[in-house]
Amino acid sequence: MKKSAVLTAYREPGFIEENVKKLMDRGFEIIIAADEPNDEILRIVREYGLKATISEKRRGKWRALNDAISLADGDYIIFVDSDTRILNLENFEEFDAVEIGKEINATSLIERLAKIEFFNMFLTAKIASKFGSCLSLNGAAFGIKKDVLLKLGGFRKRINEDTDLGVRLGLNGYRVGVCGKAITKSPSSFKDWLVQRERWSLGGAEVAIENFQSILKKPKLWIPYLFLFYPSIIGLVFGLALPDSLILKALSLILPFMFFVHFKVVSLLLFSIFELHVIRNLIAMLASFIIWASTVIVLSKKTSYSIEIKLLPLYYFIYNPLWTMLCIVALAKASVFRLIGRELKVKGWVI
């Protein structure tokens, strides 16, 4: 089987040269897809005699990838971003498409928390692969048979062209696996993280809304995805499941106006009702955290994927709820824009 590798870059070369050497040694044809390339990228293309599709202005990643496909002679194509290093590839030819497993070399706190999130991405991909399916792809590194990609119409004009492709693979019954390993980059500052997550959430919402009914029919894919990727939702479900007396709610509204009965007694009753609500919410939060964290810890050991267990509470109670709220807001915005026929745009990102 002939193999091609499309290495994408915007301005900077990143790990392109390292990946070129590694993939050429494994018999890959290399194609560079670069927008606004600097001199170093052009040097790499010349020095290694590579095929390339170069644009002096930013054309949008989906378009750059499609331009690269037209140059590829391989039956199977691996796509790798410039900020990602390929460590190994194995048995990818067995599948119609593969998610290449990714880890982050984390130093800052936000990167270390993102590493837990990338583990959850890895897990959801592994679970979906057990059903021979897929619900998303991470575009930093993945592979696909060229004929499958062409049958699906290539990459489409979407904010998250990788998510869109992954959903189409799953909904059209193609067999998707998880193979190999790569090291990729995540934003090192909270500001950069927010910029990236605005794009991710809006792009994901766009694809989810477009395919909502079809995705809903595949609970074996989206239930594990919600459990692992949005664990904050577990706490919400627990909270709804625990009994919440209407009588107590009514009393909390009525009691303040019954001060004439006995001021101190009424105050103590209100305090008791408040504490009951606090305890109820704490039970929901702690129970859901224990279930989620236990699952993550067991699976991390089983898959030998290194995460910082001590950061799980911070991830669950701060990082993930913020990410979840961003996704909810993005879902609302994408829904309204779709309803009024307005195109979604992300500042600093060309579609």
Reading the block at residue 266, the tokens are 């009424």
Give the helix, strand, coil percentages of the chain, each rounded to 5: 60, 15, 25
One-letter identity of residue 223: I
Structure confidence at residue 212 (pLDDT): 92
Domains in the chain and their CATH numbers? 3-188 (3.90.550.10)
Give Cα separations from 33 to 6, 66, 91 (angstroms). Answer: 7, 9, 25
Give the C-alpha distances (Å, rounded to integers) separating 217 from 44, 58, 61, 214, 330.
47, 38, 30, 5, 23
pTM of the complete model: 0.86
Q: Judge residue 216's burial from the number of C-beta atoms within 10 Å of its C-beta, 0-12 exposed, 13-18 middle, 19 or more buried.
A: exposed
* Residues 165 and 196: beta-carbon distance below 8 Å: no
Fill in the DSSP letter of residue 343. P
Closest-CA residue to 112 (of 259, 246, 301, 310):
310
**Per DSSP, which regions of the chain are E strands?**
3-10, 28-35, 51-55, 76-81, 85-88, 97-104, 141-145, 176-184
CB 77 within 8 Å of CB 142: no
The pLDDT, as a whole number, for residue 252 is 53
In 10 A of CB 212, how many CB atoms?
10
Give the integer Cα–Cα distance in Å for 63 and 205: 21
Spatial separation of the C-alpha atoms in residues 183 and 140, rounded to whole Å: 9
The pLDDT, as a whole number, for residue 273 is 60
Q: What is the pLDDT along the chain (351 residues), one digit of tens a residue?
A: 899 999 999 999 999 999 999 999 999 999 999 999 999 999 999 999 999 999 999 999 999 999 999 999 999 999 999 999 999 998 888 899 999 999 998 999 999 999 999 999 999 898 888 887 888 899 999 999 999 999 999 999 999 999 999 999 999 999 999 999 999 999 999 999 999 999 999 999 999 999 999 988 888 888 888 888 888 777 766 666 655 655 555 555 555 555 445 556 656 666 666 666 677 777 778 888 898 999 999 999 998 898 999 999 999 999 998 998 899 999 999 999 999 999 998 888 888
Is residue 27 within 8 Å of residue 58, measured between CB atoms? no
Q: What is the rounded CA–CA span in Å between residue 202 and residue 326?
A: 9
3-state secondary structure of 145: strand
Q: Going by DSSP bridges, is the β-strand pair 51-55/85-88 parallel, antiparallel, or unpaired?
A: unpaired
pLDDT of residue 287: 82
